[in-house]
Amino acid sequence: MKTIVMTGAAGGVATMLRPLLRNRYTLVLSDRSAEPADLADGERWVTADLTDRPSLDALMTGADGLIHLGGQSVEADWETVNAANIQGYHNILDAARAAGTGRVIFASSNHACGFYPRTRRIGIDEAVRPDGLYGVSKAFGEALGSLYADKFGMRIMSIRIGNIAERPADHRRLSIWMHPEDLAALITIGLEHPDIHHAIVYGASHNERAWWDNATAAALGYVPRHSAEDHAAFALAEQAKIGPNAVGDLFQGGTFCADGFDGDLDRTLKARLPRP
């Protein structure tokens, strides 16, 4: 069994993924927190901080792959995002390179392109349009993955994750939702597919209201098992409790776009960014 390091292992997404991956891989779980009480057979815990390069070098020793879920998971001030998501990802990715780790899964985010209107269907070739500093850090991570694939021969999958949960929680998530089993399947492709260089894919289940063209993932063999429409009644009922958001409801990034918004709403909606 290949040895896979999973950072951010104390978080919610990792907690959902662990039972789905530990029968296929030997998991080395890591976070800043102390060792949890629920480790299973095939799991080992290493406490490490993304800002501490020596601890990351030790963490990555002997690893065949890295699932990087660690870092700041929501919008925050620049110092926090920079330390955890920009410097932190560079630290762990370069530690993986130094250790000879060949495969990396980077948990990017839909917030790297959150300022696209909900009326637009986008693929991976459109320019990034981050909706906050958190989204900027994820766009950086994708660029860093491209560099390390090109320059150092690593094989990296950057997954623009929508929302990982057992079911979509509101109207927006009917378009971006991903069941944990589908995420585990996509991660497995990233860790094992022979033809990956640097692949950017969307982390979404089968969502009939999707805003994203996930052809790259499909070409790699990804076939989601779960459908958001199976939970539409629940999601729409929950949405009715939330109420409208004058800015957030217009953009794919939702309330991340609305937070602190002081721009030209009409121009932002109509803007057509050139392809990179």
Helix, strand, coil percentages, rounded to 5, for the chain: 40, 20, 40
Q: From CA 21, how far away is CA 105, in angstroms rounded?
A: 13
Query: Which residue in 134, 148, 202, 222 is the catalytic one?
Result: 134
Please answer whether residues 25 and 61 qualify as being in contact, where contact means their C-beta atoms are separated by less than 8 angstroms: no
Q: From CA 216, how far away is CA 218, in angstroms rounded?
A: 5
Q: From CA 151, how far away is CA 266, in angstroms rounded?
A: 41
> Is residue 194 classed as helix, strand or coil in its secondary structure?
coil
Find all residues with CB under 8 Å of 272, minimum gap 6, and list them.
Answer: none
Taken as a whole, the chain contains a residue count of 276
Our answer to whether residue 134 is catalytic in this structure is yes
Residues known to be catalytic? 134
